[in-house]
Structure 1
Amino acid sequence: MRRLKLGVLISGTGRTLANLLRLTAGGELPAAVSVVVSSRPDALGNQIARDHGIPLVVVDARKVRDIETFSDAVYRALDEHKVDLVTMAGFLRRILIRPDYQGRIVNIHPSLLPLFGGKGMYGERVHRAVLAAGMKVSGCTVHFVNEEYDAGPIILQACVPVLEDDTPETLAARVFAEECRLYPEAIRLYAAGRLRLEGNRVCILPEPGLEG
């Protein structure tokens, strides 16, 4: 299993970034965060990158509105740090997918896609929609990123129950606990070369030596 250089894209609190850093520091993830790219100069997660001495590049989405210009700025940072895998961690701006990054950008979404995904569906909005729909289960999805919001090939999903007395906050906490487990598992599979894209499907290959 190779050790990956990760580029982490953030727009908010950086909770997922913090989880990845905890796991890499503890040797539980075969990776190191090489650069953090933030779409907001005031994102709380920026300070997490600074506190860990990780290069931080801010591409202000409120000032750089053209998607090509914005995408180019993000890729310059990723190229400079020679990242192997890009992990979106609460990143709220769409980017164009450069050909050499196809199958190298992943995201985690706090619902069971394709339900409750798409533009504007993030954070508490997702959990409110789940509760309003009367769902009995929710969960999270790790997927490869394409140029549509939350529409790329699904790698892994995990379910959590929706309880009768749930609020958006209690449901969010239960889903985030699964995100903290599922996202690293997807990264491990990628590092082990066990993810194969077949059209819009992701096949998880068996561990070497366990075929058949």
Structure 2
Amino acid sequence: MRLAFLASHGGSAARHITQACQSGELGAVPLALASNNSRSAALEWAREAGLQTAHLSSARYPNPAELDAAIRDFLVGSGADTLVLSGYMRELGPRVLEAFAGRVVNIHPSLLPRHGGRGMYGDHVHEAVLAAGDNESGATVHLVTAGIDEGPILAQARVPVLAGDTLPTLKARVQAIESDLMLRALRALAAEEVRV
């Protein structure tokens, strides 16, 4: 697999995946990272790691169709065949989704389909889990489609919701399983074990 990443902030998943590629833990090649945030730590890190980088945002491309085309052109031009969202806080446009159909991967901090959809990201998800009184949570790696958090599930991992859990404690428990779950899902996708 030839990987590209989209990130808005720190890009921790992109970093972990790139390290796994470099160590031989994941048989893939990281090529590029684009961010909608010109000051993101992910862009700085990716430049230092030798990845192709680009700042592509609505500030540079106010027309959504032009932004969608610019993102697609950068990603396709990088040589990537698989796109990983690493904390990317924007919806993908139809051109990007078409160019990488069946090869856009995202991780969501709940057991989809529970607590997914518009507005369900980051701390909002963990707050919803606690408010619902769920006895378990976890993370889901899924393929990205036009619907928010509606794409086919590649892998899930579960964690308990403990009595007395707060947003920080639950969040930490979920984040602790996300990196290995993403690697497992990417390995399955690379081995074509996943049937979409």
TM-score by length of 1: 0.86
Secondary structure, aligned partner of 1:112: coil
Secondary structure, aligned partner of 1:86: strand
> Paired residue for 2:51?
54
Deviations 1:181-205 (A, max 9, x none): 11111111111121111xxxxxxxx
2:28 is matched with which residue: 26, 31, 34?
A: 31
Deviations 1:9-42 (A, max 9, x none): 1111111111112211111001121000111112
Note the aligned Cα RMSD (angstroms). 1.4
Deviations 1:50-74 (A, max 9, x none): 2212111111245535432221111
> Paired residue for 1:196?
195
> Paired residue for 1:89?
86
2:7 is matched with which residue: 2, 5, 10?
A: 10
> Paired residue for 1:182?
181
- Deviation of 1:46 (Å): 1.5
- Deviation of 1:96 (Å): 2.3
Say how many residue pairs are matched: 194
Distance 1:69 1:100 in 2: 15
> Paired residue for 1:133?
132
> Paired residue for 2:102?
103
Contact 2:115 2:129 in 1 (8 A): yes
> Paired residue for 1:144?
143
Secondary structure, aligned partner of 1:121: coil
> Paired residue for 1:156?
155
Q: 1:65–1:126: structure 2 CA closer, same or farther, 3 Å change rule?
A: farther
Contact 1:41 1:58 in 2 (8 A): yes
Distance 1:130 1:61 in 2: 32
Contact 1:9 1:38 in 2 (8 A): yes
Gaps of 5+ in 2: none
> Paired residue for 1:209?
none
AA aligned opposite 1:129: A
Q: 1:26–1:60: structure 2 CA closer, same or farther, 3 Å change rule?
A: same
Distance 2:50 2:142 in 1: 28
Distance 1:48 1:127 in 2: 28
- Higher mean displacement: 42-51 or 138-147: 42-51
> Paired residue for 1:166?
165
**Residue 121 of structure 2 is aligned to residue 122 of structure 1:** yes
> Paired residue for 1:205?
none
Distance 1:126 1:65 in 2: 29
Contact 1:40 1:61 in 2 (8 A): no
Secondary structure, aligned partner of 1:165: coil
Task: Write 1 or 2 for the structure with the bigger share of helix.
Answer: 2
Gaps of 5+ in 1: 198-212
Distance 1:151 1:65 in 2: 27
Distance 1:140 1:56 in 2: 28
